[in-house]
């Protein structure tokens, strides 16, 4: 009995390893795969034939040979399957459908309002299931169709158990969101923190060249996703990376988490609103959410000094926290994502200045750049692909 389980687990791992290799190389051949993986030729041939019959791999002609038979070239079929990624923010929701390489074929942004009467969790489930239904209808046909959806949430999420522990303005406790959404949606579902999805997007988007990186997602709050040695670092319960709740001022203002002086109070849209007030800007028509950044950017572009000063203060606070992260993790790159991306011109120079002052040694030279505004949604779909098609490959000991 045990021998059977081991053999089938081994076969799954070998299959994922071969598929991953074909995905990551432009073209390859059975003999190359055998040499690179150490798997014998018969095993590789069996797996490749299976992948071809499943339309995950296609043969694309012959390669060159230094003698003997020319090898048949293999290429990954990126359009064999699609996955949905949903980036849920408190004020809006972005939904994408991407192929296996993370190339979007559908993108939809909608405003959301969770303030309706009743339990905000019900409105959230309504919004998510509506957006998933639209994405399902929009997905192109493919051999595997839609393999699943990952919902990225701006809170504390247990990826493995599909639980939400904390979602600002919506819920605190232990919410089995996966079971509840599964009653409305019939594809495999995954849930993760938004910054984790953003970090995964950066890792995959750069062809896994950078094994250690941090994605800092700034919107209404701030959080980070951490990739260490090519894996998302989620910690014991999935709530790692909550840099937004590092205490940066023990005498600081009260945070939604119940503590005081959290980084999130200073380096987020909430912080920006406070700096605007302090700078004497008229904030009577402004509130935290999707349009705050846009309205503030317009004012700053019109040379409204109070708004420019507020953005500088935000950049200094962002930079201070990023310098702390650099000093702790010494990553290869830090990517800033979320709404702050739109304010790069005003914020990034101050971030860089703070890092020059506060980061240690070579941490000063670690590139810090702005990411793509859709990074989280695309990363969420890539996580689905990874879990369904490739995660078994990671079980193989190096």
- What does the binding site for Zn ion look like in residue numbers (CB under 5 A)? 245, 255, 257, 259, 262
- Going by DSSP bridges, is the β-strand pair 189-193/146-153 parallel, antiparallel, or unpaired? parallel
Cα separation, 42 vs 123, in Å, equals 54
233 touches 226 (CB < 8 A): yes
Cα separation, 119 vs 316, in Å, equals 38
Q: Is the Cβ of residue 45 or residue 259 nearer to Zn ion in the bound state?
A: 259
C-alpha 113 chain-centroid distance: 23
- How would you list the strands of the sheet with 231-232, edge to edge? 231-232, 222-228, 213-218, 333-338, 368-370
Q: Is the Cβ of residue 169 or residue 180 nearer to Zn ion in the bound state?
A: 169
Minimum CB–partner distance for residue 322 and Zn ion (Å): 17
Q: Is the Cβ of residue 106 or residue 260 nearer to Zn ion in the bound state?
A: 260
Give strand pairing partners of 92: 111
Q: Is the Cβ of residue 187 or residue 257 nearer to Zn ion in the bound state?
A: 257
Minimum CB–partner distance for residue 238 and Zn ion (Å): 17
Q: Is the Cβ of residue 262 or residue 318 nearer to Zn ion in the bound state?
A: 262
- Going by DSSP bridges, is the β-strand pair 213-218/333-338 parallel, antiparallel, or unpaired? parallel
Q: Is the Cβ of residue 48 or residue 262 nearer to Zn ion in the bound state?
A: 262
Minimum CB–partner distance for residue 166 and Zn ion (Å): 10
Q: How far apart are the first and last CA of the chain?
A: 26
Minimum CB–partner distance for residue 257 and Zn ion (Å): 3
Minimum CB–partner distance for residue 247 and Zn ion (Å): 8
Cα separation, 247 vs 321, in Å, equals 10
Identify the residue whose tokens are 């046909």: 141
Cα separation, 275 vs 327, in Å, equals 26
Identify the residue whose tokens are 């003997």: 68
385 touches 144 (CB < 8 A): no
Minimum CB–partner distance for residue 259 and Zn ion (Å): 5
Minimum CB–partner distance for residue 13 and Zn ion (Å): 41
Minimum CB–partner distance for residue 318 and Zn ion (Å): 16
Cα separation, 88 vs 241, in Å, equals 18
Q: Is the Cβ of residue 120 or residue 168 nearer to Zn ion in the bound state?
A: 168
Q: Is the Cβ of residue 157 or residue 300 nearer to Zn ion in the bound state?
A: 157
């Amino acid at each position: 009995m045990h021998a059977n389980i081991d053999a089938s687990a081994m076969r799954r791992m070998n299959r994922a390893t071969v598929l991953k290799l074909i995905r990551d190389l432009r073209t390859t051949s059975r003999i190359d795969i055998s040499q690179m993986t150490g798997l014998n030729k018969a095993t590789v041939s069996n797996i490749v034939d299976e992948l071809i019959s499943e339309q995950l791999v296609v043969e694309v002609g012959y390669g060159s040979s230094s003698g003997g038979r020319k090898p048949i070239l293999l290429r990954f079929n990126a359009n064999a399957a699609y996955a949905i990624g949903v980036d849920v923010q408190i004020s809006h929701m972005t939904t994408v459908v991407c192929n296996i390489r993370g190339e979007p074929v559908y993108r939809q942004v909608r405003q959301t309002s969770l303030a309706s009467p009743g339990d905000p969790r019900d409105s959230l489930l309504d919004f998510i299931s509506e957006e998933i239904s639209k994405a399902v209808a929009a997905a192109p046909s493919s051999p595997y169709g839609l393999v699943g959806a990952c919902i990225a949430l701006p809170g504390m999420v247990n990826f493995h158990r599909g639980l939400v522990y904390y979602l600002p303005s919506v819920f605190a406790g232990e919410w089995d969101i996966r079971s509840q959404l599964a009653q409305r949606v019939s594809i495999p579902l995954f849930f993760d923190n938004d910054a984790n999805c953003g970090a995964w997007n950066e890792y995959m988007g750069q062809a896994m060249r950078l094994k250690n990186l941090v994605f800092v997602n700034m919107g209404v709050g701030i959080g980070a996703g951490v990739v260490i040695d090519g894996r998302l670092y989620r910690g014991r319960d999935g709530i790692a990376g909550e840099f937004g709740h590092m205490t940066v001022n023990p005498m600081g203002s009260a945070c939604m988490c119940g503590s005081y002086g959290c980084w999130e109070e200073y380096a987020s849209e909430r912080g920006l609103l406070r700096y605007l007030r302090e700078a004497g800007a008229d904030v009577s028509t402004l509130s935290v959410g999707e349009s705050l950044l846009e309205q503030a950017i317009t004012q700053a572009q019109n040379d409204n000094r109070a708004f420019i000063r507020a953005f500088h203060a935000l950049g200094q606070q962002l930079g201070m926290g990023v310098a702390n992260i650099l000093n702790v993790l010494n990553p290869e790159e830090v990517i800033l994502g979320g709404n702050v991306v739109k304010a790069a011109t005003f914020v990034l120079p101050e971030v860089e200045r703070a890092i020059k002052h506060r980061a240690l040694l070579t941490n000063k030279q670690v590139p810090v750049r702005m990411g793509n505004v859709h990074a989280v949604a695309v990363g969420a779909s890539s996580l689905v692909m990874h879990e369904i098609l490739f995660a078994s490959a990671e079980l193989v000991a190096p």
